[in-house]
Amino acid sequence: MEFLLELVVSVLIVLGGFFALVGSVGMVKLPDLLTRLHAPTKATTLGVGGALAASMVFFAGFEGDLSIHEVLITAFLFLTAPISAHFIAKAHLHEHAELRDGLPPTGRAQGWSTFDSLPDPDDEDDGDDARAAHH
């Protein structure tokens, strides 16, 4: 039983370290920011999740106190990682206006919210005009 617990904790720690490393290597190797954003937000979050799960199993199994702190930290990180990635991508698009030509059409009257303002409710053609001007 002791051995099994140790094995679980060790595997979780090694997995966590490995995925955190993969995320950071991806951030160094990938070519531009929008691809670079993928590595830290997915792999690194999984890595820190592994370390937190290891800590939870360790303190529940060896010290005998099941703590909820790890769940709090994990939930917080898993909730905030996509939000910060979304913000970073939006700020990047805001800084590089030439990237709007690579975006797919929205399929609606209004364009992408980062580049085009909301359509005027009084004037239905406003968004179409903005899209036509941009193509």
d(CA 82, CA 85): 5
Distance CA 102, CA 130 (A): 16
46 near other proteins, judged by CB under 8 A: no
Q: How many CA atoms lie within 13 A of 126 on its CB side?
A: 10
Name the CA dihedral angle for 24, 25, 30, 34, rounded to a multiple of 10 degrees: -10
Q: Is 99 in the site for other proteins (CB under 8 A)?
A: no
Number of Cβ atoms within 10 Å of the Cβ of 45: 20
Of 4 and 132, the one with the shorter C-beta distance to other proteins is 4
- Of these, 91, 108, 117, 120, which contacts other proteins (CB under 8 A)? 91
Residue from 35, 69, 129, 134 in contact with other proteins (CB under 8 A): 69
Q: Which range of residues in 30-38, 100-108, 120-128 is near other proteins by CB under 8 A?
A: 30-38
CB-based burial of residue 15 (10 Å sphere; 0-12 exposed, 13-18 middle, 19+ buried)?
middle
Which of 1, 4, 31, 65 touches other proteins by CB under 8 A? 65
In the complex, what is the shortest distance from the CB of residue 38 to other proteins, in angstroms, rounded to a whole number? Answer: 11
Minimum gap (Å) between residue 99 Cβ and other proteins: 12
Residues 6 or more apart whose Cβ sits within 8 Å of residue 77: 45, 48, 49
Rule CB under 8 A: is residue 87 a binding residue for other proteins?
yes
- Under the criterion CB under 8 A, does residue 10 sit at the interface with other proteins? yes
Query: Which of these, 105, 134, 118, lies nearest to 126 by C-alpha position?
Result: 118
Chain contacts with other proteins (rule: CB under 8 A): 6-7, 9-11, 13-14, 16-18, 20-21, 23-25, 27-28, 33, 36-37, 40, 44-45, 47-48, 51-52, 54-55, 58-59, 62-63, 65, 67, 69-70, 72-73, 76-77, 80-81, 83-84, 87-88, 90-92, 94-96
